[in-house]
Structure 1
Amino acid sequence: MDILYNKEGVPLMMHSDIAFYDTKLDKQASDERRRVLFPYDDTRHDFIEVAGQRVLAWGKDNLFPCHASDIVRNTTVLNTGLRFLRNLTMGQGIFVCRVKGYNDKGDEILEPADDQAMQRFVGSRLVRRYMEKTLRDFLKVGLSAVQFVPNAAGNKIVGLNTINSHYFRFTEPLDTLGSQNCVISGSWDLSPSSYSILPLLSDYSPENHAELLRFMGKMKGGFVYPVRDSWSNDDIYGEPIWWPAYVAGWVDIAHMVPQFLKKAYKNQTTWKWHVQIPYSFWDKKFPTSEFEDTELRRQSIDKYMSSIEKNLLGAENAEKPIFTNYVVNEMNGRIEEEWKITPLSNKYSAGQENLVTSAAANSEILFSLMVNPNVLGAGMPGGSYAGNQGGSNIREAFLVNIANSWIDRQNILDPLQLYMQLNGAPEDLQLRFRNTILTTLDTGAGTSHQLS
């Protein structure tokens, strides 16, 4: 509470020190904030010298994966949508099989492989952990790096380790063939003092590159297989699938609406009352004769008005009554010293509109992920984003998601196929996913299982 007094200590005007503010970013500041996600630009020479090799910066400050993780973590629908895509892409796991032919519909005729060692391998925690972590970075930051771990002799691969995106960076091409290295370090905010360097497999033919490393005896230390989506046209790091929704500002809106509503509900009574206090009230309530000086009187008035403000402010006190006294002038019959507390017309009526805006932001973020909002129960009851949330709509959207996941599934299966190839598995062995498909009740079952 801030009160303006005259020189005699009479309060003239008051305003509350509890208020809701919003910060507006200008375009330049907004662009600078978003530029942290921009990919490498060779005109700026963003690189770090490590062991005589130029490591390309990932983002403006080389900390893009950290910033991206924070954005995903703090945006509910983005976090949930990416987690949904990860779980959907993994399906119900993978299995080893042989393709025996095709039926009249063009579907593959699959025969489970009798190789028990390979079946145990694809069902192991190593593979499950690899798929989960690879998809995590693939969806969050647009790139994942899979380390092939060899045995001590360097003639066999014994493990797959997905390197956390916070810790790896790629060098610029080292020769005309485009050879690169992967540099791994625990700290990238400064030039790393401790690191390890592994060969990065060629994006053109990783299988032949791996065979070449083995032939040259360079497989003993292992190598890294990059898993990326080439849609961004960035051959180094790529961009995450949710990047357009961030650039357009929908992620910011998804943050701002709940923050605004929280403060609006908490402070909603601050704009509901107009309190008018007559000057004569202060002479009777705080007579100057009872105070040694004007400053002590001001302090007492401040304390009193703060208690009155608390009575009118906040969601918990919104319904509290306030009691005042008044005096009738016996000379003219007029009421004096009466407090007038008038309810103001509440101009804030944007609660429903804000909820619609929030739902639109959630829908736009899910659209950028190619996820139908109805699958997550986010369909809106009316307006431009209205959708039928019935079972058929959800089933069809779920099937579309599975169909769209084919390329992502192949991307994460490629390192597993190479693992099998380097360890001598027959060339005709293939990896396929298990899916749970939603069905209607008239089929006699709620779900059915399919292979893809």
Structure 2
Amino acid sequence: MDILYNKEGVPLMMNSTFFFADTVTDKKTTDERRRVLFPYDDTRRGYIYVGDERVVTWGNDNRFPWEAVNTVRDTTVLNTGLHFLRNLTLGQGIFACRVKGYDDKGDEILEPIDDPKVQSFVSSRQVRRYMEKVLRDYLKVGCGAVQFVPNAAGNVVVGLNALNCLHYRFTEPDSDGNQKCVVSGTWDISPSDYDILPLLNDYDPDSQAEVLRFLGRLNKGFVYAVRDSWSNEDIYGEPIWWPAYVAGWVDIAHMVPSFLKKAYKNQTTWKWHVQIPYSYWDKKFPVSAYKSQKERSAAINKYMDEIEKNLLGPDNAEKPIFTNYAVNEMNGRVEEEWKIMPLSNKYNAGQENLVTSAAANSEILFALMVNPNVLGAGMPGGTYAGNQGGSNIREAFLVNIANAWIDRQNILDPLSLFIKLNGSPDCELRFRNTILTTLDTGAGTTHKLS
């Protein structure tokens, strides 16, 4: 407990150590904090030099990947929603096939590829690892990247190495639109240990890769970037969840549980109003009994801590407190009586805060284009009320799969190029999906290719 004393050592105001507080920042401060995360734009694009290469910084101070990853990790619904999107997009793996034609409904008629090398590749851990890691960064920061690894001779591509978004940056395009990828495990303002690899362009990456191989310039390989182009950011892209952060819903998702935790822990601190007369201190702690004012103040602090323990805290909330008082013989007035008045607790916002939290969760999921009902996040009433029945969940799940088509194609493009560079027959890659069905079909699930 902190006690404010006057010059004579009389306590004037007491500030309990058990308290709940919130901080408010002005718009300028909030904007500055958000710029730490904000990806670059043409008005704030920054550059650093790594060797002779001019590298475009990724966000303010080149720290966007770190800040974005931490934001996702620390936001429950955002982390879960992106994890759900990754798993849904990957489905049950991929399948190599040829398209023989189309049926009357317009659906593809697929024929499996009988090349064991291709089938072994698409079902390998290398491909699973590539898709999982690149899609992770694609969703978290808006850009993933994979290194095509050559053999020792440098003339054949033999592997795919998914690059962590924390460890690479792209150079500024030259006059022909060509870029490079700078990879370093120790990124700071300008790393001293790094590799520089060619970065395939977006216009025709397959042809550029063929040219590099023909010219014998594979060396350490090259990098294929997998970007989400919706933001119009050509260098790094922008994550799908970014609008929810800018609008403040991610902040609200953090604030509500923090507020409720403090409120539930400290709500007993709002129960009493204690009024103590000044004359009480003169009799309880006479100045003559202490060598110094500092010693007397320490004694008062210790005494009030003991009183506070009787009034506050989960273990002491119901304990009684006993005090004495005196009556002035001259006028018959009570002068040293402690008044301990119960306060009316005005805090009834628990349900309101839970509704606000649910709204924040829903808004974040909306930004991800995930129906909250799929994750059991539908609200029981109000603006975001939804039916969490089986049919609603099935339909939402099917909509998610339909929306995943472009993201799946972006993930498959590097795999198709790898198969092509290794001289395998032309083939198409499709995803396996488990589709929820109704019980009247005789099965709970069915399997589809997409």
Same fold, judged at TM 0.5 (above): yes
SS at match of 1:322: coil
Q: Hey, what's the Cα distance between the residues in 1 that align with 2:392 and 2:43?
A: 48
Q: Which residue of 2 aligns with 1:449?
A: 447
Q: Which residue of 2 aligns with 1:412?
A: 411
Q: Which residue of 1 aligns with 2:428?
A: 430
Q: Hey, what's the Cα distance between the residues in 2 that align with 1:89 and 1:416?
A: 15
Q: Which residue of 2 aligns with 1:383?
A: 382
Q: Hey, what's the Cα distance between the residues in 2 that align with 1:304 and 1:110?
A: 83
Unaligned runs of 5+ in 1: none
Aligned pairs (5 A) from 1:215-226? 215-226=214-225
SS at match of 1:175: coil
Question: Structure 1 stretch 88-97 or stretch 110-119: which is displaced more?
Answer: 110-119
Contact 1:183 1:198 in 2 (8 A): yes
The AA in structure 2 aligned to 1:416 is: L
Deviation at 1:227, TM superposition (A): 0.4
Deviation at 1:260, TM superposition (A): 1.5
Q: Hey, what's the Cα distance between the residues in 2 that align with 1:58 and 1:388?
A: 41
Residue 66 (str. 1) matches residue 31 (str. 2): no
Q: Hey, what's the Cα distance between the residues in 2 that align with 1:35 and 1:254?
A: 19
SS at match of 2:36: helix
Q: Hey, what's the Cα distance between the residues in 2 that align with 1:189 and 1:153?
A: 33
Deviation at 1:138, TM superposition (A): 0.3
Q: Which residue of 2 aligns with 1:108?
A: 108
Unaligned runs of 5+ in 2: none
The AA in structure 2 aligned to 1:423 is: N
Q: Hey, what's the Cα distance between the residues in 2 that align with 1:301 and 1:71?
A: 45
Q: What does the per-residue CA deviation read over 1:337-370, in whole Å, with 9 as the maximum and x for residues that have no partner?
A: 5433221111222111111111111111110000
Q: Which residue of 2 aligns with 1:252?
A: 251
Deviation at 1:169, TM superposition (A): 0.9
SS at match of 1:126: helix
The AA in structure 2 aligned to 1:68 is: A
Residue number among 437, 440, 444 corresponding to 2:438 in the alignment: 440
Q: What does the per-residue CA deviation read over 1:251-290, in whole Å, with 9 as the maximum and x for residues that have no partner?
A: 1111111111122222212222111234554455445565
The AA in structure 2 aligned to 1:392 is: S
Contact 1:324 1:338 in 2 (8 A): no
The AA in structure 2 aligned to 1:174 is: D
Aligned pairs (5 A) from 1:190-201? 190-201=189-200
Aligned pairs (5 A) from 1:34-433? 34-44=34-44, 46-176=46-176, 178-279=177-278, 281-282=280-281, 285-287=284-286, 290-292=289-291, 294-317=293-316, 319-326=317-324, 337-427=336-426, 429-433=427-431
Question: Structure 1 stretch 287-296 or stretch 153-162: which is displaced more?
Answer: 287-296
Deviation at 1:3, TM superposition (A): 3.0
Percent sequence identity over matched residues? Answer: 73
Question: Is the alpha carbon distance of 1:12 and 1:192 closer, same or farther for their aligned partners in structure 2, counting shifts above 3 Å?
Answer: closer
Q: Hey, what's the Cα distance between the residues in 2 that align with 1:171 and 1:346?
A: 59
Q: Hey, what's the Cα distance between the residues in 2 that align with 1:447 and 1:105?
A: 22
SS at match of 2:415: helix
SS at match of 1:67: helix
Q: Hey, what's the Cα distance between the residues in 2 that align with 1:5 and 1:72?
A: 47
TM-score (norm 1): 0.93
Q: Hey, what's the Cα distance between the residues in 1 that align with 2:403 and 2:382?
A: 27
Q: Hey, what's the Cα distance between the residues in 2 that align with 1:206 and 1:6?
A: 77
Q: Hey, what's the Cα distance between the residues in 2 that align with 1:375 and 1:362?
A: 13
Superposed CA RMSD: 2.2
SS at match of 2:165: coil
The AA in structure 2 aligned to 1:430 is: E
Question: Is the alpha carbon distance of 1:11 and 1:150 closer, same or farther for their aligned partners in structure 2, counting shifts above 3 Å?
Answer: closer
Question: Is the alpha carbon distance of 1:48 and 1:11 closer, same or farther for their aligned partners in structure 2, counting shifts above 3 Å?
Answer: closer
SS at match of 1:174: coil
Contact 1:265 1:315 in 2 (8 A): no
Q: Hey, what's the Cα distance between the residues in 1 that align with 2:214 and 2:126?
A: 26
Deviation at 1:69, TM superposition (A): 0.6
Deviation at 1:15, TM superposition (A): 3.0
Q: What does the per-residue CA deviation read over 1:66-117, in whole Å, with 9 as the maximum and x for residues that have no partner?
A: 1111111111111111111001001011111121221221111222221122
TM-score (norm 2): 0.93
Question: Is the alpha carbon distance of 1:244 and 1:302 closer, same or farther for their aligned partners in structure 2, counting shifts above 3 Å?
Answer: same
Alignment size in residue pairs: 449
